[in-house]
């Protein structure tokens, strides 16, 4: 795969995720000691776990994003960033310097209106030099999309409460040029969450950690049918559908991203694939498996549907999707219950992938597999947002583990499944609604999703190992 990132480095990219290696780059776990901490700032923080609402879905927007507040504490700029565990850079456009940028959901950052902004100097780092010694970066994608810009440090926060000086300063990319699909995305940019530190360029959770805002080098994602929550420093026990001791912990076998190993893959408890190594990438809409695994899943579902009269209530079309129109006797809930469960096994435990999650909705009554057969082999599986849905996924960076536990989210979502009856269980979390209207963007941007365009087969086959 041919791709470049200029900080006097080479990098390879798949979709919105990429890895960066420098002479001074290292895994975060090796940098825990002697961290500087601004303990005085903790007086304004009630808990050591930060939380922020996530917006988006896989049926229409086709990715998940979080709002952040950047810049001058008295008048911060609001930016919408894709939550991306497959990327190691956070970047978004700056209005005064952007030569070619798209029309996104929020206005670009006005860099020169923030008195607290500091443009990183290329003389301080191993990076390319731009005008006025700016520290440059460039991100290129196989299908032609790219980001270019320079690094800036400024206040960075998730809270929509009155902005205060306790917010940490964070180094991010100020985009000066974006091309192709990045021009049409409704989100302003991306928030890279890979576990890599290189010089002053770190993931946001590490910046919060080393400045004492959180005590654990950990973050968690909860992606629901619509929206969700992001946690820095841990997670919220109240969102768990099971006790914490039921969390399935898996070793992260990579220093540069989140890669886990499964013993086998089954459907309706019948094993269809042996050992699997998978990358967890929240910035990808669908889940990518091998052609053989995909064929095995389709065959297993087809065989399952033939077993009993009322199994698989939908009618399969030529595209491999299932059409179901609810009627008096059967509901959408019955539709999902009529399909088999896909399971990823780890020792004696397993992570179940339920039909309500591995199907995504197209139109009012059409449901398709949120799976695509683009992986080269069993060591290059990518678990995207479709797999992560309705699980609290805990990224314990310090101990190099990833935890999965089912979350107590709403089993149905009227925005996605309009006629399903919802439970009034008080322990279920409400659907997160955006504070701004994004409906006008849905139709225009659905066909321009990362899953179908940026995440093309040719890009996938060049994923770094």
Active-site annotation holds for 396:
no
152 forms beta bridges with 119, 172
CA distance 26 to 219: 19
265 forms beta bridges with 273, 344
CA distance 427 to 421: 17
User: How would DSSP label each residue in 401-418?
Assistant: EEEEEEB-B-S--TTTST
DSSP structural state of residue 33: T
Active-site annotation holds for 334:
no
- Please give the structure tokens belonging to residue 156: 């960075």
CA distance 303 to 346: 25
Catalytic residue among 67, 281, 357, 413: 281
Q: Which helix (H) or strand (E) holds 153?
A: strand 146-157
450 forms beta bridges with none
φ and ψ of 304, to 5 deg: -60, -40
Residue 124 CB burial class (10 angstroms; 0-12, 13-18, ≥19): exposed
CA distance 85 to 296: 28
Given a contact cutoff of 8 angstroms between Cβ atoms, the answer to whether 12 and 1 are in contact is yes
- Please give the structure tokens belonging to residue 37: 């901490």
User: How would DSSP label each residue in 87-150?
Assistant: -S-EEEEBTTT-SB----SSPPB-GGG-TT-EEPBGGGTTS-B-GGGBBEEEEE-TTS-EEEEE
CA distance 12 to 465: 10
Catalytic residue among 84, 154, 396, 413: 84
User: What strand order describes the sheet that includes 276-280?
Assistant: 259-262, 276-280, 381-383, 287-290, 371-375
List own/partner pairs for 123-130 with CB under 8 A and 24 or more apart. Answer: 124/200, 125/7, 125/199, 125/200, 126/7, 126/8, 126/9, 126/22, 126/23, 126/24, 126/199, 127/6, 127/7, 127/8, 127/151, 128/6, 128/7, 128/8
- Please give the structure tokens belonging to residue 172: 């991010």
- Please give the positions annotated as active site: 84, 281
């Amino acid at each position: 795969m041919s791709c470049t990132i200029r900080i006097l480095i080479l990098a390879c990219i798949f979709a919105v995720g990429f890895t960066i290696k420098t002479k001074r780059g290292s895994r975060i776990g090796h940098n825990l000691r002697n961290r500087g901490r601004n303990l005085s700032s903790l007086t304004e923080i009630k808990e050591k776990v930060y939380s922020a609402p996530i917006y988006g879905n896989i049926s229409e927007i086709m990715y998940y994003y979080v709002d952040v507040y950047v810049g001058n504490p008295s008048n911060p700029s609001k930016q919408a960033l894709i939550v991306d565990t497959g990327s190691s850079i956070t970047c978004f456009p700056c209005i005064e310097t952007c030569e070619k940028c798209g029309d996104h959901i929020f206005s670009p950052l006005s860099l020169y209106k923030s008195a607290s902004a500091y443009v990183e100097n290329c003389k301080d780092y191993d990076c390319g030099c731009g005008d006025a010694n700016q520290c440059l970066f460039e991100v290129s994608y196989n299908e032609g999309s790219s980001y270019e810009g320079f690094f800036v440090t400024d206040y960075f926060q998730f809270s929509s409460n009155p902005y205060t000086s306790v917010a940490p300063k964070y180094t991010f990319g100020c985009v000066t040029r974006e091309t192709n699909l990045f021009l049409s995305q409704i989100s302003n940019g991306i928030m890279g969450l890979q576990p890599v530190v290189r010089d002053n360029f770190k993931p946001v959770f590490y910046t919060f950690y080393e400045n004492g805002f959180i005590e654990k080098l950990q973050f968690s994602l909860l992606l629901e049918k619509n929206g969700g929550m992001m946690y820095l420093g841990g997670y919220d026990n109240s969102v768990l559908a099971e006790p914490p001791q039921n969390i399935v912990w898996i070793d992260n076998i990579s220093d540069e991203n989140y890669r886990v190993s499964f013993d086998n893959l089954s459907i309706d408890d019948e094993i269809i694939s042996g050992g699997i190594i998978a990358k967890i990438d929240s910035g990808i809409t669908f889940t990518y498996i091998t052609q053989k695994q995909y064929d095995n899943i389709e065959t297993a579902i087809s065989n399952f549907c033939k077993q009993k009269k009322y199994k698989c209530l939908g009618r399969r079309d030529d595209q491999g999707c299932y059409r179901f129109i609810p009627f008096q006797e059967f509901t959408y809930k019955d539709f999902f219950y009529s399909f088999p469960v896909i399971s990823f096994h780890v020792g004696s435990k397993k992570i179940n992938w339920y039909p309500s999650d591995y199907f995504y909705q197209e139109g009012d009554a059409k449901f398709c597999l949120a799976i695509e057969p683009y992986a080269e082999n069993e060591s290059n599986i990518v678990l995207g947002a479709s797999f992560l849905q309705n699980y609290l996924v805990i990224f314990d960076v310090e101990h190099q583990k990833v935890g999965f536990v089912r979350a107590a989210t709403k089993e149905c979502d009227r925005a996605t499944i309009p006629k399903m009856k919802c439970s009034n269980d008080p322990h279920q979390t409400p659907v997160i609604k955006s504070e701004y209207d994004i409906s006008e963007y849905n139709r225009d941007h659905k066909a321009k999703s990362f899953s179908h365009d940026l995440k093309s087969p040719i890009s996938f086959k060049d994923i770094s190992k």
